[in-house]
């Protein structure tokens, strides 16, 4: 699979089989991903990979917590601006409509929307999960570096025939994640990532993208 194909076929998959992902595959991907760029080569990411019984425990704890209606953990960063301006608000709204329409869930069906959302904490059935942390003392450029690292991971997973779903939602139950991964106190949980083999029997729509002239300006002679 070439780079263009990996980029075009990468998507946030929200339905996986329970087929285990080989440890050697994950090690190969993460060894290569270490070559992702970072300012002054700081490599600010700190990653925990969870599989097997520990992941089953984490899923159980997280799903039970969310199902019980326990309050979210206090935010350590803002996932979205309180009032996104145009065109970001429209793009986010369009994503929600596309996702729930693909699942056959009406906007007013709150219970169905909650059931769909709770699948986040079951990793959408995936057999592997990655949790990316960053030191709380680092700044916005290092968070950008972590994003480039995660994108590199996701593209390498495609090269291995795997899919993924990056999930900031895990930061809302960070203390539950910490019960299993036990991160050092100086780290902040940025996101989780479900990793595995796509369940092709389940809908996994690809969301649209803005046309090139909305996001790119060429300055030429």
Q: How far apart are the first and last CA of the chain?
A: 36
Q: What is the dihedral of CA 59, 62, 66, 70, to 10 degrees?
A: 160
Q: Is residue 9 part of a domain?
A: yes
Measured distance CA(17)–CA(199) in Å, rounded: 5
Evaluate whether residue 143 is within a structural domain: yes
Name the maximum alpha-carbon separation found in the chain: 61
pTM equals: 0.90
User: What total number of domains does the chain contain?
Assistant: 1
Asked if residues 133 and 25 have their Cβ atoms less than 8 Å apart, the reply is no
What's the DSSP call for residue 72? P
Half-sphere exposure of 25 (CA within 13 A, CB side): 17
In a domain, residue 214? The reply is no
Confidence (pLDDT) at 69: 87
Q: Is the pLDDT of residue 41 over 80?
A: yes
Position 34 in a domain: yes
CA distance 57 to 35: 32
**165, two tokens:** 């779903």
Structure tokens, 137: 């003392």
Report pLDDT for 80: 86
Each residue's pLDDT tens digit, 78-135: 888 888 899 889 888 887 777 666 655 556 655 655 666 788 899 999 999 999 999 9
Q: What CATH number does the domain containing 151 carry? A: 3.40.109.10
Q: Sort residue 161 into left (φ over 0), alpha (ψ -120 to 50) or beta.
A: left
Residue 163, beta-bridge partner list:
196
Domain ranges, residue 15? 3-77+122-206
Q: Tell me whether residue 220 is in a domain.
A: no
pLDDT band at 144 (very low <50, low <70, confident <90, very high): very high
Flag whether 217 is in a domain.
Answer: no
Decide if 149 is inside a domain. yes
Domain for residue 219, yes or no?
A: no
């Amino acid at each position: 699979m070439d780079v263009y194909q990996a980029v075009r076929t990468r998507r946030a998959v929200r339905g996986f089989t329970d087929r285990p992902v080989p440890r050697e595959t994950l090690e190969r991907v993460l060894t290569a991903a270490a070559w992702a760029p970072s300012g002054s080569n700081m490599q600010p990411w700190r990653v925990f990979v969870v599989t097997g019984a520990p992941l089953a425990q984490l899923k159980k704890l997280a799903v039970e917590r969310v199902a019980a209606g326990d309050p979210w953990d206090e935010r350590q960063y803002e996932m979205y601006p309180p009032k996104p301006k145009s065109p970001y608000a429209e793009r986010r709204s369009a994503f929600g409509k596309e996702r729930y329409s693909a699942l056959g869930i009406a906007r007013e069906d709150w219970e169905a929307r909650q059931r769909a959302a709770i699948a986040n904490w079951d990793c959408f059935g995936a057999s592997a999960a990655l949790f990316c942390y960053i030191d709380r003392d680092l700044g916005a450029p290092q968070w950008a570096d972590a994003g480039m690292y995660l994108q590199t991971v996701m593209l390498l997973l495609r090269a291995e025939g795997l899919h993924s779903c990056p999930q900031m939602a895990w930061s809302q139950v960070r203390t539950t994640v910490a019960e299993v991964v036990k991160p050092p106190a100086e780290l902040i949980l940025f996101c989780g990532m479900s990793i595995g083999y796509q369940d092709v029997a389940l809908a996994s729509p690809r969301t649209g993208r803005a046309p090139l002239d909305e996001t790119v300006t060429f300055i030429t002679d």
